[in-house]
């Protein structure tokens, strides 16, 4: 999976992975701008212009994953990081899965608030489930919370499956249109589910001001930049993360270790490749 998506600048990938007799290790880039969740919590809501840039970068990243045959399956603000220039990047591929166009996964996985109805109903899901999560993310960026909430998990699932999304009148008609398309409960009718995939979303009128080529090459500069004092700055992360102990995880049993044969990976160095 790392080999499939290693070249994409809007995804946080492993620089290398390796294993010892008892441990698996994955080395990731440190993105010092903090979680998108952290900045959303501090600002309360994002303007449509600010949310448009973040959503466009997320759509570009998810489209790249889908074109590589990969579904993320856990898109949420905690899994989106911001770099020092204000660009957002996807991380945490722990639930990602390779799925071809004709197959579906029946796993119940993800974070409930962002899970598509077809996952909760165990109907089988594919890449269309990611576009539902993108819709939830956009709704949360524009309103400050997901469209479906409840302290009881079962009742939360029932709301996601049965209730209609309430769209705030202060949002633009184009934002309403995009949210309705992404938060379509029937995955076959969901925006992005057709043969054009992510390109169908990119061509939506809410994104009419986005130059996708410049966005994907990082030529478009976000107006908001996090306050970063240096490469090792952790000021944009909540203390609940930075105060976590660095304990090594328990060693797996020998039987479990058999599932990770061939885990070691080092990305090819373009400077050392033969001509």
Average pLDDT over residues 103-117: 89
**What 8-state DSSP symbol labels residue 137?**
H
Residue 158 lies in a domain: yes
Please check the confidence at residue 275 and state whether its pLDDT lies above 60.
no
Can you read off the two tokens belonging to residue 215?
A: 């966005």
| Total number of domains in the chain | 1
Residue 171 lies in a domain: yes
Can you read off the two tokens belonging to residue 141?
A: 């960026």
Residue 266 lies in a domain: no
**Cα 137 to Cα 144: distance, rounded to the nearest angstrom:** 10
Please check the confidence at residue 4 and state whether its pLDDT lies above 70.
no
Can you read off the two tokens belonging to residue 255?
A: 């039987």
pLDDT digit string (tens) for 38-49? 999 999 999 999
| pLDDT cut 70: percent of the chain above it | 85
Lookup result for tokens 């209609």: 164
- Of 70-74, 116-120, 167-171, 247-251, least confident by mean pLDDT is 247-251
pLDDT digit string (tens) for 166-186? 999 999 999 999 999 999 999
Residue 247 lies in a domain: yes
At residue 270, the pLDDT reads 47
Average pLDDT over residues 17-43: 84
Residue 78 lies in a domain: yes
Query: Of 29, 49, 74, 247, which residue is the catalytic one?
Result: 74
At residue 58, the pLDDT reads 96
As a whole number, the mean pLDDT across the chain is: 86
> Do residues 13 and 64 make contact, with C-beta atoms less than 8 angstroms apart?
no
Residue 162 lies in a domain: yes
Average pLDDT over residues 53-67: 94
CATH of the domain at 48: 1.10.510.10
Residue 270 lies in a domain: no
What b/e sequence results for 143-164 when a residue is b if at least 16 CB atoms lie within 10 Å of its CB, and e otherwise?
beebbbeeeeeeebbebbeeee
- Of 6-20, 180-194, 199-213, 218-232, least confident by mean pLDDT is 6-20
**Cα 220 to Cα 130: distance, rounded to the nearest angstrom:** 24
Average pLDDT over residues 25-33: 82
At residue 234, the pLDDT reads 84
Residue 69 lies in a domain: yes
Average pLDDT over residues 185-198: 95
Work out the end-to-end distance of the chain between its first and last CA atoms, rounded to an integer number of angstroms.
26
Range of the domain at 178: 2-260
At residue 259, the pLDDT reads 56
- Annotated active-site residue 227? The verdict is no
Can you read off the two tokens belonging to residue 189?
A: 């009718």
């Amino acid at each position: 999976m790392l080999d499939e998506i290693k070249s994409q600048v809007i995804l946080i990938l492993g620089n290398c992975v390796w294993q010892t007799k008892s441990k698996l290790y994955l080395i990731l880039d440190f993105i010092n701008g903090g979680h998108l969740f952290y900045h959303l919590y501090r600002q309360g809501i994002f303007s449509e212009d600010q949310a448009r840039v973040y959503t466009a970068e997320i759509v570009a990243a998810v489209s790249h994953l889908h074109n590589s045959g990969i579904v993320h399956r856990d898109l949420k603000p905690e899994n989106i990081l911001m770099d020092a220039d204000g660009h957002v990047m996807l991380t945490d591929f722990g639930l990602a899965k390779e799925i071809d166009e004709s197959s579906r996964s029946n796993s119940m996985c993800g974070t409930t608030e962002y899970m598509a109805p077809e996952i909760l109903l165990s109907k089988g899901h594919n890449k269309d489930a990611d576009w539902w999560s993108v819709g939830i993310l956009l709704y949360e960026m524009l309103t400050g919370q997901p469209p479906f909430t409840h302290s009881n998990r079962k009742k939360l699932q029932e709301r996601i499956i049965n209730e209609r999304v309430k769209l705030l009148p202060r949002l633009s008609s184009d934002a309403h249109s995009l949210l309705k398309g992404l938060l379509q409960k029937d995955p076959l009718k969901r925006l992005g589910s057709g043969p054009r995939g992510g390109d169908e979303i990119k061509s939506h009128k809410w994104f009419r001001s986005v130059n996708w080529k410049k966005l994907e090459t990082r030529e478009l500069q976000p107006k908001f930049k996090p306050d970063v004092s240096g490469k090792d700055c952790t000021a944009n992360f909540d203390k609940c993360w930075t105060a976590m102990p660095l304990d090594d995880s328990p060693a797996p049993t020998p039987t479990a270790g058999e599932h990770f044969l061939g885990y070691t990976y080092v990305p090819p160095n373009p400077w050392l490749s033969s001509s």
